[in-house]
Chain A
Amino acid sequence: MTKARIDDRFAALKAEGRAAFIAYIMAGDPDLEQSFEILSGLPAAGADLIELGFPFSDPMAEGVPIQRAAQRSLAGKTTLAKTLDLVRRFRRQDAATPIVLMGYLNPVLNQGFEVFAAAAAEAGVDGLIIVDCPPEESGPLADALDAAGIALIRLAAPTTDDARLAVVARRTSGFMYYVSVAGVTGTKEADEHTVAPAVERVRKASGLPVAVGFGIRTPERAAAIARVADAAVVGSALVDEVAAALADGTPATPKVLAKAAALAQAVRTARA
């Protein structure tokens, strides 16, 4: 399994002729049980892949929504081990939807790369995105993930030139994540006209499907990006639904899943 689950999913979607909708949620937000409910409901809501964030105290690439989600998660004492427990429980009911963990290096480094990779593979994790670990620093992590059969998914950005793209693509598997805007998550808006040639460039350099994220908040944006990329990632807009539910004193799960369903629908019909 593992990497293969990501490859299978993208192959199937390619056959269908549509892009993937990737939903990002934060483990333990607003609490572990509700985040498990959300996670469990995402495939039925239309998420083709799931990015499960694990919290870090100092998320330097995140805008306010995901920063606050991490703070809520940490206030509930979410750990990396508890994040893996969520994946383990999810796998009992869903063997097909790929799960990619996304976060920052220190909690993983703290656990030890080999120990983490083995535990993550056992739990049913398929891929890992570490925001603050560029190729130059990721040799030991890549070795550990390779040994466990987990995909290391790297980010490419608008500042990444062609020479550097080759460096970024090396040892990346599963898919490439294109950061569509120079900025933090959930602030600027991705523009499909500038994203399209970038996606082509990244696809060519890596030979992998290209997911686009960081600047997609609405079904309209998601559809526009789904026309030019292999996947559209939405995070901040989903996490905002958790914040809104907390503000209203209502359950978070239905709000998040309704938003996810609207985004998924937009992605699914984008090329129709």
Chain B
Amino acid sequence: MNATSPPNTWDAYPDVNGRFGDFGGRYVAETLMPLVLDLDRAYAAAKADPAFHEELNGYMTHYVGRPSPLYFAERLTQHFGGAKIYFKRDELNHTGAHKINNCMGQILLAMRMGKTRIIAETGAGQHGVATATVCARFGLPCIVYMGETDVERQKPNVFRMNLLGAEVRPVTSGTGTLKDAMNEAMRDWVTNVADTYYLIGTAAGPHPYPAMVRDFQSVIGTEARAQMLEMEGRLPDAVVACIGGGSNAIGLFHPFLADEGVRLVGVEAAGHGLESGLHAASLTGGRPGVLHGNKTYLLQDPDGQIIDAHSISAGLDYPGIGPEHAFLHDAGRADYISATDEEALDAFKLCAELEGIIPALEPAHALARVGEIARDLGPDRIVLMNLCGRGDKDIFTVADALGRRI
């Protein structure tokens, strides 16, 4: 295998209308359409400007702490007795998750566009914390919409955002989770069109967000690919990531899309189990529809009403998925499987005990499937997983699930 990436025909997506095959697009109210089109132009200009990349790379190195290491998880490899398991350590980034890769890119873009007020939605609070962080760093006011259910279960992150100077607005409409937070952020944006930049945290929403978030997160896969070639002299056989909206997964997958020998595996949250109906597995248990500005797979009832997702992990608790994943799913380029709350908890404990790394509950879902993927591949093969966040934020949720008081 070559050290440089082969030509990536997958780069042709999205098309000029923001389409990944049948998915994606720009399904927003007319008031927002001119803003979305303006953002598209501004992002295209920034993307083509070497000065923008130079500035971004500087902050990525000195503020975010990139590149993140590639780590051989030796004891987990021994435990499962199959392929070598590697972690891409994006939990070591500043703020403890991959989310800041995207926030750094978008905040620089927002300032280029002359925007003076930043809004964001957050589920687990990781994107909210990352947004509040970059807003503090660049001195911009920040408002984070967060479902009131999530405010309750992610109190440490709410406090972090407050410390960083952000205003957290609890969202009581709907069911008070991530999708409602996104609705409310859209309502804010449509009300404050002149000065406000909506910093979306996942690879979903109207074009150009899915492509832009992917581009900013692709640093994960680009680094991991080069690091793997350096450490092992070859590419991995399988690449695994958890999926809520899908930003860490698309960031890891995209630089590997043209490497046909590399199997791409996304792990959705199966909650209490797919058959229970209480899950967040949009690809496995949903069907195509339109929500939050894009066409993609959604959890919905027979009348097209969106169904609430369920996951122990607030970061995966979303009834949709980024449109590029919907496309890769239908094209057969990536496989999408799932892990339950219980399986994720087991993986969470295993990772802490064997590797001395407390993972976030989100990547614990990916880890829950890595063992069997490694065993199926067998020794002398390599599986790469994105450890996209650390678990400090989850200790209360985990203690609760384990019936312990802390």
Interface residues of A (CB under 8 A from B): 55-64, 67, 71, 74, 79-81, 104-111, 131-134, 136-137, 154-161, 164, 168, 179, 182-184, 187-188
Contacts and interface: CB of A to CB of B under 8 A. Distances in A.
B80 to A, nearest CB: 41
A182 B200 CA distance: 20
B26 A58 contact: no
B179 interface: yes
A121 B179 CA distance: 33
Q: What's the interface size class on B, roughly?
A: 35 or more
Contacts of A105: 27, 290
Interface stretch (B131-139, B183-191, B321-329): B183-191
Interface of B is mostly: mixed
Interface stretch (B81-89, B100-108, B303-311, B380-388): B303-311
A154 B25 CA distance: 18
Interface of A is mostly: loop
A-B pairs, top 4 by smallest CB distance, nearest first, are A110-B304, A107-B304, A157-B31, A183-B191
13 contacts: A58-B292, A58-B306, A108-B304, A111-B304, A131-B29, A134-B29, A157-B30, A159-B34, A160-B31, A160-B34, A183-B31, A184-B187, A184-B191
B190 A184 contact: yes
A20 B128 CA distance: 46
Contacts of A107: 303-305
Interface of B: 17, 25-35, 173-174, 179-180, 183, 186-187, 190-193, 289-293, 298, 300, 302-306
A154 B304 contact: no
A158 B31 CA distance: 7
B306 A157 contact: no
Contacts of A164: 33-34
Nearest to A63: B187
B303 A79 contact: yes
A149 B195 CA distance: 41
Contact of A134 (B33, B180, B186, B191): B33
A260 B230 CA distance: 73
User: Which one of B25, B28, B33 has the greatest number of beta carbons of chain A within 10 Å?
Assistant: B33
A210 to B, nearest CB: 14
Contact of B173 (A64, A79, A106, A133): A64
A141 to B, nearest CB: 11
B240 to A, nearest CB: 31
B17 A136 contact: yes
Contacts of B31: 61, 155, 157-160, 179, 182-183
Given A106-B300, A106-B306, A107-B305, A155 B190 contact: no
B191 to A, nearest CB: 4
Contacts of A79: 303
A227 B53 CA distance: 53
A187 B31 CA distance: 15
